[in-house]
Structure 1
Amino acid sequence: MKILGIDTSSQVGTVAIMEDDKLIGEYIINTKKTHSQKLMPMIDEIFKLCEISIEDIDLIGLCIGPGSFTGLRIGAATAKALAHVRNISVATINSLESLAFNMNFSKGIICPIMDAQRNQVYTCKYIWENNTLVSVEDITVKNIDSLVEEIKERYEEVVLLGEAVDLYKDKLIDLDNVYIAPNSHKISRASSICELAFEKYKKGDVKNHYDVVPYYIRKSQAEVQYEERLKRMGENGK
């Protein structure tokens, strides 16, 4: 089985191809280019270098969020289009789970954090239990200072990773019980998406392209501002 993995949930754009348990190829681009500029060229290039085409893909693994609203929409639209053309099933993976999967050698609490703007992060906590990644809380949005205080109260080591680590490094680096993941594991990797997608496929947990939607958690800043503007207009009209 050949799996195409796609993750555009953060500034990082990453795609990978895995055949059963073998990683064939992976692209990771961490630049300020938009995903609309880099996603399809990465997919085209990895197909060429791996000497396969979309006709050879049996499953698409897609990161659905939370994360960048625009990035998630681009990734979802691309995956849905590819799946529609070839009638390929899609396995959806959340961004925090895929980040935590990067740290499969960790013994402590794994805490991925992604920028949610306004001094907030998307986060969740995971542990490895019997070689299986297990979430120990629900995905949520937290103020970074509240999360720091929460981490300070834990007695075990907490592994931090994700794009928000660099954004708030000054608040995190001096915590005694924190280990910041190395650069090779700290960012999104489509190879992790592929592996998680394969596990979901084996359990029958896949979707058709019509049912694939991004996982936003909350409204975008633009939607919030629009609703606030409508509310003010209503109050002024009274």
Structure 2
Amino acid sequence: MKVLGIDTATMMGSVGLIDDDRPVAQYSLSIEVTHSERLMETIDVLLRGVRIGLDGIDGFAVSTGPGSFTGLRIGLATVKGLCMATGKEAASVSTLEALALNMPYCSYSICPVLDARKKEVYSALFRCDEDGTLKRLTDDMVISPESLVEMIKGPVVFSGDGVYTYRDIFKRRLGSNAHFAPVNAMFPSGLSVARLGLSKLKKGETMDKTGVPAYVRRSEAEIKFETRGTLL
């Protein structure tokens, strides 16, 4: 089953293609161009490179958050359009789970952290079983880095763009228990999104056509509307 995975939750956009358990191709790019300007071109370049048309894709997967509100909406809208054009199904996956999947067989706890601004991070805790199966220990959450480290017991591996902002806090609070993923595992990948999506698609856990991003935190517009009764 060929699944195209798409991640636009961070500045590092990524598109990956798998054929069951075999990776076929991946294209990741971090440049100061919006996902809306580059995503369809990236998909086209990847598919032309492996000589597969959209009609050769059996299903799609997209990371639906948490992450950049705008990026998530772009990724989700793109996948909905691809589903409509091809008649294929899609699965939604957690951005943090896809990021944690970059660290298979890790013997430590895995803690993906994405910078949520406002001195907070999007995060969750995971653990790998002996067979490499990823197990979730917490729900996705938005939390201060200081409160996050209080939840962690024992050695942990951090990954995600939040590391670049809060590495010093993690090191100072956790000492030798704080470890950091290598650069190739620091961002969500299209292949990881596709792998998680493949599992869901095979179980029939498809995304509803009205699916929305998992923001975890309310947008500024929602907060302003609640407090002022207006978006202005």
- For Structure 1 versus Structure 2, the TM-score category normalised by the shorter chain is over 0.9
**1:167 aligned partner:** 165
Cα shift at 1:105:
2.5
**1:216 aligned partner:** 215
1:136 alignment partner AA? L
Cα shift at 1:57:
0.6
Tell me if structure 1 keeps the 8 A contact 2:105–2:132.
Answer: no
1:62 alignment partner AA? V
Alignment of 1:133-212 (within 5 A): 133-151=134-152, 154=153, 156-174=154-172, 175-208=175-208, 210-212=209-211
Superposed CA RMSD: 1.6
Cα shift at 1:60:
0.1
1:139 alignment partner AA? D
1:37 alignment partner AA? E
**2:74 aligned partner:** 74
Cα shift at 1:222:
3.0
Q: 2-side partners of 1:131 and 1:205: how far apart?
A: 22
Same amino acid, percent of matched pairs: 37
Tell me if structure 1 keeps the 8 A contact 2:17–2:191.
Answer: yes
Alignment of 1:117-132 (within 5 A): 117-129=117-129, 130-132=131-133
**1:39 aligned partner:** 39
1:118 alignment partner AA? K
**1:229 aligned partner:** 228
Q: 2-side partners of 1:16 and 1:98: how far apart?
A: 12
Cα shift at 1:170:
2.3
Tell me if structure 1 keeps the 8 A contact 2:12–2:30.
Answer: yes
Per-residue CA shift, 1:27-48, capped at 9, x if unaligned?
1111221111121110111011
Where in structure 2 are there 5+ consecutive unaligned residues? Answer: none
What count of residue pairs does the alignment treat as equivalent?
228
Structure of larger gyration radius: 1
2:177 alignment partner AA? N
Where in structure 1 are there 5+ consecutive unaligned residues? Answer: 234-238
Per-residue CA shift, 1:166-189, capped at 9, x if unaligned?
121222244320110000001110
Indicate the SS of the match to 1:114.
strand
Cα shift at 1:148:
3.0
Q: 2-side partners of 1:32 and 1:71: how far apart?
A: 13
Cα shift at 1:4:
0.5
Per-residue CA shift, 1:71-112, capped at 9, x if unaligned?
000000000000011111111100010000000121111011
Per-residue CA shift, 1:133-162, capped at 9, x if unaligned?
1111111111112223433xx2x2101001
Provide TM-score, normalisation by structure 2.
Answer: 0.93
Q: 2-side partners of 1:120 and 1:43: how far apart?
A: 32
1:85 aligns to 2:80 (yes or no): no
Cα shift at 1:125:
0.4
